[in-house]
Amino acid sequence: MKVVAAMSGGVDSAVAAARAVEAGHDVVGVHLALSRMPGTVRTGARGCCTIEDSMDARRAADIIGIPFYVWDFSERFKLDVVDDFKAEYAAGRTPNPCMRCNERIKFAALLEKALDLGFDGLVTGHYATVTKDADGNHELHRAAAWAKDQSYVLGVLTAQQLAHAIFPLGATPSKAEVRAEAAARGFSVASKPDSHDICFIPDGDTRGWLKDAIGATPGDIVDSDGTKLGEHEGALAFTVGQRRGINVGIPAADGRRRFVLDIRPVTNTVVVGPKEALAITEMGGSKFSWAGQPPAHPETAFDCEVQIRAHADPVPAVCVLAVCDGEPELVITPTDPIIGLSTGQTAVVYVGTRVLGQMTIDRTVSAVPVAVQA
């Protein structure tokens, strides 16, 4: 097949591209320019998409012996990822920009362009696997190395996208093996650190970035019945589940620590309370999708596992497609309450190793209801 290999400048994508060539594919390497003003040099493991990264990708492509291009997706990245990130935080939700990037950039904009140019598929360095069921339908599954598994951030992929996705690293036992292979191939990125932060906030200061991008307005800190406990300098500085830095002047009656329970942008208030109020017994979302074929009868509750963060452990749950205010909604009920869940996060549904689908969480039900309303 004629395929595009997305080359970030990291070790995983370089090895994935090389393996695609050895598998017999006609490969063209592409680096995505996601910023009109990229930094020159990475800082440790922070950020990506710098000029240095594009040069690293080009050097790897030269060693592999494949054509290499830089495609400018900076405007679409700004609109679909960066602006979405700001809007979600401004609405009091906690978004996952990596999910949006995979959904709207790598496996929408990039794959669409590749297909329009006559390519057959897209190769990436993600640790996940694509298989087919007995009827030939594509399924997304966890990687062999669960410690490195990245199927969570791919939960947004559709059946059509899975049909064109190639993940050469999915069966690799460990990242160490990938680095050893990169060194053997002569890639300079063999020991390059992984990127662990939001790529457009390379210094890791999300609060500072949001303050500059959206602004900060002082407001009230209240408890779950609406009683004012103190003031904050900007609600965007807080996240659900946060314990430190709340700085309220009135101690809790029982002397226990308070946690951030909710952020209410309409009233510019931060709601705090006991840890047990962070226990979520149900979550629902109308923005959902199936990764491949949906269940035969999703309106009938079925057992599954749900994962709410990229590096979180999956937990047993029950899932059902219900109707809320006349609209379809995916409802997930974990067997045991999940602590510190926020709207805007992505819940990915698994059945065994298979990624069944995902939803953006619109609402949650707490074991200890919070009375104050936005």
Active site residues: 101, 199
* pTM recorded for the entire structure: 0.90
Pair 253, 311 in one domain: no
Is 266 part of a structural domain of the chain? Answer: yes
Is 138 part of a structural domain of the chain? Answer: yes
Pair 243, 310 in one domain: no
Return the CATH number at 260.
Answer: 2.30.30.280
Q: How far apart are CA 70 and CA 148, in angstroms?
A: 27
One-letter amino acid at 32 equals L
Ordered DSSP codes for 118-147: T--EEE---SEEEEE-TTS-EEEEE-S-TT
Q: What pLDDT band is residue 374 in, cutting at 50, 70 and 90?
A: very low
Sign of CA dihedral 289, 295, 300, 301: negative
Q: How many domains does the chain have?
A: 3
The CA angle 79-82-84, to the nearest 5 degrees, is 70
Residue where a domain terminates, one of 237, 256, 273: 273
One-letter amino acid at 254 equals D
Return the CATH number at 185.
Answer: 3.40.50.620
Is 199 part of a structural domain of the chain? Answer: no
Pair 269, 287 in one domain: no
Q: Residue 327 sits in which domain range?
A: 279-366
Res 355 pLDDT > 50: yes
173-208 confidence digits (pLDDT tens): 899 999 999 999 999 999 998 876 688 887 778 888
Is 210 part of a structural domain of the chain? Answer: no
Local structure of residue 226 (DSSP, 8 states):
S
Q: What pLDDT band is residue 373 in, cutting at 50, 70 and 90?
A: very low
141-180 confidence digits (pLDDT tens): 999 877 789 999 999 999 999 999 999 999 998 999 999 9
Is 374 part of a structural domain of the chain? Answer: no
